[in-house]
């Protein structure tokens, strides 16, 4: 039968995370806790950067946008995961699938570019410290952010228009917990060679460009650090880079394991685990990593907790004083 006579699929069925009903309560609590921590952690980073005057630097400027992207990025998949865990039918409409696919790809691409921009920022800070302020101007920082969002959303628009212009005649079962490229391409009844080529080109160019930028920046950073005579200065330089290296590693490794290997049914479960990691766990870990490894962030948290404790103490003392005065009035 010719493709044009086939019925276009209007609803997809997702496989979800598990078929074992005994695991569902645990998984729901687990992912709900992860999502709450993601929201609190990333909103905390954004608020911290905007409230603390000593964090008004390019590094924390980019970190605030990374946190914003992580928050939105996690929100494209985690709420759907939670709803599917408590639902008997794990379905998603064709248009909703396209919307999720677009925003997931756009925010993933934006995060890749922001991570590479942050590596350039660390290169300028360590290799050209005296020119850092003149190089990393506010205008340049905003240009980097605009470039990251612009190209991230542009490549997602290309991929989405390509994939969802194909014919999906059935079956409609997506072997994943969200709308992703590999399982969707398995379902199309159109000849998707050009679309496959586009997807490979886009993912490869973004990932390899970002990876080359990060590796190139840190190669220059390492050579510069090794020339520093003071061991204390070397250690401080390493610490300023360690948070970014950790965040970039935990984001890129699962992506390369998922998209840059020959297709095989043997790895389907591993693919799902990798997808869970970079779509839900990584956005939660990024603010934790920067909070635990950056002295400026620790300082802000300690000051905030101290001020909060002092404020609570003052309120308790006021309440105690009022209750004591009220007791005296009653005795009179």
- Between CA 90 and CA 79 the distance in angstroms is 13
Flag whether 311 is in a domain: no
Q: What is the pLDDT of residue 153?
A: 95
* DSSP result, 260-318: SS---GGGHHHHHHHHHIIIIIHHHHHHHHHHHH-HHHHHHHHHHHHHHHHHHHHHHHH
Q: The tokens 């997931």 sit on which residue?
A: 104
- Tally the domains of the chain: 1
Residue 93 parent element (H or E) = strand 91-93
Q: Which domain holds residue 175?
A: 3-293
Q: What is the pLDDT of residue 312?
A: 56
- Which domain CATH number covers 108? 1.20.1070.10
Per-residue CA distances from 48 to 69, 109, 236, 292 (Å): 16, 25, 22, 14
Flag whether 308 is in a domain: no
How many other CB atoms are found less than 10 A from the CB of residue 25?
11
Flag whether 272 is in a domain: yes
* DSSP result, 47-74: HHHHH-GGG-SHHHHHHHHHHHHHHHHH
Q: Are 176 and 275 in contact (CB under 8 A)?
A: yes
Flag whether 197 is in a domain: yes
pTM for this model (two decimals):
0.82
Flag whether 213 is in a domain: yes
Flag whether 232 is in a domain: yes
Flag whether 310 is in a domain: no
Q: What is the pLDDT of residue 42?
A: 92
Q: What is the pLDDT of residue 301?
A: 66
Beta bridge partners of 11: 93
Flag whether 61 is in a domain: yes
**Weakly modelled stretches of the chain, pLDDT under 70:** 1-7, 192, 258-271, 292-301, 303-305, 307-332
Q: What is the pLDDT of residue 107?
A: 93
Q: Which of 184, 176, 170 minimizes the C-alpha distance to 15?
A: 176
Q: Are 46 and 68 in contact (CB under 8 A)?
A: yes
Beta bridge partners of 173: 13
């Amino acid at each position: 039968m010719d493709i044009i006579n086939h019925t276009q699929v209007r609803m997809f069925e997702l496989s979800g995370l598990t078929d074992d009903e005994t695991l569902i309560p645990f998984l729901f609590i687990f992912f709900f806790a992860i999502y709450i921590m993601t929201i609190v952690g990333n909103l905390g980073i954004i608020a911290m950067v905007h409230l603390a005057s000593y964090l008004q630097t390019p590094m924390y400027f980019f970190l605030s946008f990374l946190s914003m992207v992580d928050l939105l990025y996690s929100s494209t998949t985690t709420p759907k995961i939670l709803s599917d865990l408590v639902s008997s039918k794990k379905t998603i409409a064709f248009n909703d699938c396209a919307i999720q696919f677009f925003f997931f790809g756009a925010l993933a691409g934006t995060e890749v570019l922001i991570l590479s921009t942050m590596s350039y920022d660390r290169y300028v800070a360590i290799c050209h410290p005296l020119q850092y302020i003149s190089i990393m101007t506010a205008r340049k920082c905003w240009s980097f952010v605009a470039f990251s969002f612009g190209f991230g959303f542009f490549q997602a628009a290309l991929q989405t228009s390509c994939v969802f212009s194909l014919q999906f005649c059935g079956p409609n079962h997506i072997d994943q917990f969200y709308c992703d490229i590999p399982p969707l391409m398995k379902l199309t009844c159109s000849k998707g060679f050009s679309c496959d080529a586009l997807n490979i080109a886009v993912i490869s160019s973004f990932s390899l460009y970002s990876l080359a930028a990060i590796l190139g920046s840190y190669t220059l950073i390492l050579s510069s650090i090794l020339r520093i005579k003071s061991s204390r200065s070397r250690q401080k330089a390493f610490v300023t880079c360690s948070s970014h290296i950790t965040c970039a590693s935990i984001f890129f490794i699962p992506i390369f394991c998922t998209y840059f290997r020959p297709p095989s049914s043997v790895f389907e479960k591993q693919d799902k685990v990798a997808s869970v990691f970079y779509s839900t766990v990584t956005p939660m870990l990024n603010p934790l990593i920067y909070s635990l490894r950056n002295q400026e962030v620790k300082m802000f948290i300690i000051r905030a907790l101290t001020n909060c404790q002092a404020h609570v103490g003052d309120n308790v003392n006021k309440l105690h004083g009022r209750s004591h005065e009220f007791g005296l009035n009653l005795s009179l």
